[in-house]
A and B are shown apart, each in its own frame.
Chain A
Amino acid sequence: MYNPTVARLTYRALLGRRRALILFILPGLLLVTAIAVRLLTGADDQTTADLLGGFALGTMVPLIGVIAGTGAIGPEIDDGSIVYLLAKPVKRPVIICTKLLVAVGVTIVFSAVPTLIAGLVLGGNSQNLAVAYALSAAVASVAYSAVFLLLGTVTRHAVVAGLVYALVWESLFGSLVAGARTLSVQQWALALGGKVADGGLVTSDVGLPAAVVLLAVVTAGATWYAGQKLRGLTIAGEE
């Protein structure tokens, strides 16, 4: 289920030229903010939870997930160069799996690792907060990558669709309608993080078993369906 050549191409497409810039800026901003907050206010667990939960997990992880997930396949479908890849004797699900692995790797490196470092800077992992949020970010990275990779194969406006989910559904509806929070990758990931953290600072609206099941189902389902979509892909012309 892994093809090194496809992986190399995807990796180059994701981190080539200016694309990498935005991926470096976001975690950089998180670390700068963390250092500034630590210097201004000192170590405080509530502050750590605010910053990691609100900014790192709420804004940064979904955005990097969108960029990496859709970026892994979207541009190739967009400019039609995916036909050269599809014409090779590589199974379509293998292509999807490889691209997913690369997208997950990139998202974890650029979101979960900075979250861990920011947590350590902010509070030195007191109450296991840094590890809990980093774990949540890593788990969310996997699910986001799978979902957004699927979006990349389904629609030409994958980035916009992904952003609508991340911003409108998770942030806007999630803060207004309690029910929307049950169907949110962020809350599922927080349920796992809450298990690791010691205090009651990391909370989620979803129970742990439900969260684990939903995460697994969504990730596996999205990957399977993306493979199916790629088997019958129609190359659309430019509008």
Chain B
Amino acid sequence: MPPETTTAAAAGTAGATRIHNIGYRNYDGPRLGRAYARRSLFVQSLRGAYGLGRSAKSKVLPMMLLAVMCLPAGIIVAVAVATNADDLPLKYTSYALYLQAVIGLYVASQAPQAVSRDLRFRTVPLYFSRPVERVDYVASKLAAMSSALFVLTALPLVVLYAGALLAKLDFADQTEGFGQALVSAALLSVLFACVGLVVAALTPRRGFGVAAVIAVLTIPYGAVSTVQVIAWEQGSQAAVGWLGLFSPITLIDGVQTRFLGADSAFPGAQGPDGALGGLVYLAVVLALIAGSYFLLMRRYRKVGL
């Protein structure tokens, strides 16, 4: 449509002044709504967690960590195929425990980039000026971070499983182990994503967020595993089980030992104490996840406004 200004200006010799209509139009196309915005935020955060859609430099670290995560699985599979082994040298569920440092580094490097930059450049109010609600923002970020972590923890398992089938290991046995490990990987992903995002959302500084997340993930583990060894040397096996409640990775270890047929990495390899111990572990994991969600919702109630 041609702007009406020309005609208005041409005809406007009679009046002295006039408010021109310069042809702005209202948007009357389809409005995609809240669900679409939520989905977009999820996809953008998930891609961002692997550096997709960001600069080449920011792809280096996540991709490298993903490669480091998959490399041992590839080697294990290659050895198993070459030597005609009867079974893989480790259980699927143990894999994430061996490489927990890599998972921790991934959470520490990517959780702050998911939330800290929005806080630092004060873009959070811009999100909330759209149909996106607080719950959408928090849920999208949590879901994206959990999915990114699930990719990181499940991909090496897929490599192991594919290799095990190629090496003609027992199908039912391998499928069972693989399925159990996928469940525990999902639980681990959600738990680590929750912990990482809560800590990262506290600070707009990326560098400090990285250090804080890794501290929360590794320091309790360092303390717990040291004290567990001491308790084990003193002969109190029950204490070893209960001590595991105090760090994220030992929580996952306990849950999968009790419910998912895993071998515990605790000293003495016993895992939590009996059925009650297992239930307490599961309850603590779920409480941590729910608590993190609640804390994030509280954090974003007043942010940047």
Contacts and interface: CB of A to CB of B under 8 A. Distances in A.
Interface of chain A: mostly helix, strand, loop or mixed: helix
B222 A58 contact: yes
B104 A159 contact: no
B88 interface: no
Nearest to A236: B57
A82 B222 CA distance: 35
Interface in B207-231: 207-208, 210-212, 214-215, 218-220, 222-223, 225-227, 229-231
B222 A70 contact: no
Contacts of B54: 239
A39 interface: no
B55 interface: yes
Interface stretch (A49-57, A137-145, A207-215, A217-225): A49-57
Nearest to B98: A172
- How big is chain A's contact interface, by range? 35 or more
A60 B210 contact: no
A18 interface: yes
Interface in B84-140: 101-102, 104-105, 108-109
B122 to A, nearest CB: 13
Contacts of B215: 22, 25-26, 63, 67
Interface string A166-184: 0110011000000000000
B207 A74 contact: yes
A58 B219 CA distance: 10
A29 interface: yes
Interface of chain B: mostly helix, strand, loop or mixed: helix
B105 to A, nearest CB: 6
B223 to A, nearest CB: 5
B241 to A, nearest CB: 15
Contacts of B239: 40
B230 A41 contact: yes
Contact of A167 (B105, B203, B229): B105
A81 interface: no
B206 A33 contact: no
B234 A50 contact: no
Contacts of A37: 227, 230
A59 B222 contact: yes
B270 interface: no
A63 B58 CA distance: 23
Contacts of A157: 61, 109
Contact of B105 (A18, A50, A71, A164): A164
A29 B220 CA distance: 9
A179 B282 CA distance: 40
Given A18-B203, A37-B227, A239-B55, A160 B222 contact: no
Contacts, number: 100
Nearest to A55: B226
B105 A29 contact: no
Interface string A96-129: 0000000000000000000000000000000000
Contacts of A58: 222
B202 interface: yes
B205 interface: yes
B207 A158 contact: yes
A22 B203 CA distance: 12
Interface string A55-78: 100111001001100110011001
Nearest to B64: A164
Nearest to B206: A78
B211 A63 contact: yes
B170 interface: no
Contacts of A71: 207-208, 211
A158 B215 CA distance: 15
B230 A22 contact: no
B219 A63 contact: yes
A67 B202 contact: no
Contacts of B105: 160, 163-164, 167-168
B301 to A, nearest CB: 18
A25 B207 CA distance: 18
A17 to B, nearest CB: 9
A27 to B, nearest CB: 11
A33 B234 contact: no
A159 B210 contact: yes
A66 B213 CA distance: 13
Interface string B134-170: 0000000000000000000000000000000000000
Given A36-B227, A67-B211, A71-B211, 17 more contacts: A22-B212, A22-B215, A33-B226, A37-B227, A40-B231, A47-B233, A51-B226, A51-B230, A54-B222, A55-B226, A59-B218, A63-B218, A67-B208, A71-B207, A78-B205, A158-B207, A160-B109
6 contacts: A46-B233, A55-B223, A66-B211, A67-B211, A67-B215, A167-B101
